[in-house]
């Protein structure tokens, strides 16, 4: 059980983890409990999403969508890797979570069962931090390297702060009883790894790896490609003629 972080502390742990941050106007107070009047917390997990759109910052941070008042997450993560703080209070991102799936994150199980509505539901907005990561969610839009790296850092920052393992980091599609599919899509690369498809399992492995290091750690990036040996410059016409003349002179001298 953990009480939600203050706005200042939330910002501080992200910065310590090497995340580039920005602050949406009034994020520290606006939206707190406003959606339903319910208090936020205690918190037990991080829930990861894709925005299924572009330029979603204002929608996520403040405006919300029809029937779902903002804020729609605690953090909006742009393609550049910039994390904008949207709320430190209760946010509308998780919806109902299947109890069986939620329990597996609460208990930090090494496996997470498919969400079953029959197991009952809990209000995910009470118990989880929500990260909305900008991506069209069409399975083709790529998560750039900087964005995925920041995403791992954000999740690790929460785990480090609360003493959680990476098994406290879930994805919307792993908990939703509403058929959510997020997040998904190709990732440009991470550390020394090239392009791969986002999976919750790999994401948790990357968070776990990060947690084995200090908050200031950066994963090793691929070795730079060796610079090819430059070709000797092609001789100019006049150089060629000069060389030819020299050879002719040498031959003539031989003959004479």
Task: Kindly list the residues in this chain that would bind Zn ion in the complex (CB under 5 A).
Answer: 49, 172, 182
Q: How far is the CB of 49 from Zn ion (least distance, A)?
A: 3
Lateral strand order in the sheet of 83-85: 21-23, 83-85, 75-77, 128-133, 45-50, 169-171
Q: How far is the CB of 154 from Zn ion (least distance, A)?
A: 15
Q: How far is the CB of 180 from Zn ion (least distance, A)?
A: 5
Q: Which residue, 32 or 49, is less far from Zn ion as judged by CB? A: 49
> Can you list the positions of beta strands (E) in 38-180?
45-50, 75-77, 83-85, 96-98, 121-123, 128-133, 169-171
Q: Is there a contact between 79 and 151 (Cβ–Cβ < 8 Å)? A: no
**Alpha-carbon distance 125 to 59, whole Å?**
17
Q: How far is the CB of 15 from Zn ion (least distance, A)?
A: 25
Q: Is there a contact between 49 and 183 (Cβ–Cβ < 8 Å)? A: yes
Q: Which residue, 28 or 93, is less far from Zn ion as judged by CB? A: 93
Q: Which residue, 145 or 180, is less far from Zn ion as judged by CB? A: 180
Q: Which residue, 172 or 184, is less far from Zn ion as judged by CB? A: 172
Q: Which residue, 160 or 172, is less far from Zn ion as judged by CB? A: 172
Q: How far is the CB of 30 from Zn ion (least distance, A)?
A: 21
Dihedral angle of Cα 17, 19, 24, 27, to the nearest 10 degrees: -10
């Amino acid at each position: 059980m953990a009480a939600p972080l203050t706005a200042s502390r939330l910002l501080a742990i992200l910065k310590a983890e090497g995340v580039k941050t920005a602050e949406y106007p009034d994020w520290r107070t606006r939206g707190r409990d406003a959606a339903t009047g319910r208090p936020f917390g205690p918190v037990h997990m991080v829930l990861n999403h894709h925005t299924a759109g572009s330029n979603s910052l204002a929608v996520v941070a403040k405006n919300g969508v029809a029937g779902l008042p903002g804020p729609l997450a605690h953090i909006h993560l742009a393609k550049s890797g910039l994390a904008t703080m949207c709320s430190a209070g209760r946010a509308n991102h998780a919806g109902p979570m299947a109890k069986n799936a939620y329990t597996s994150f609460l208990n930090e199980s090494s496996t997470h069962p498919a969400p079953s509505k029959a197991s009952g539901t809990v209000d995910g907005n009470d118990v989880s931090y929500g990260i909305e990561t900008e991506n069209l969610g069409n399975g083709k839009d790529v998560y750039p390297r900087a964005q995925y790296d920041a995403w791992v850092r954000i999740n690790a920052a929460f785990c480090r702060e609360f003493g959680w393992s990476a098994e406290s980091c879930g994805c919307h599609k792993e908990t939703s009883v509403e058929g959510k599919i997020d997040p998904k899509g190709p990732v440009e690369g991470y550390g020394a790894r090239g392009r791969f498809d986002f999976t919750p399992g790999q994401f948790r492995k990357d968070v776990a790896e990060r947690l084995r290091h200090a908050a200031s750690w950066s994963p090793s990036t691929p070795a730079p490609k060796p610079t090819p040996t430059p070709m000797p410059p092609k001789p100019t016409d006049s150089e060629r003629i000069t060389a030819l003349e020299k050879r002719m002179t040498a031959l003539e001298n031989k003959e004479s």
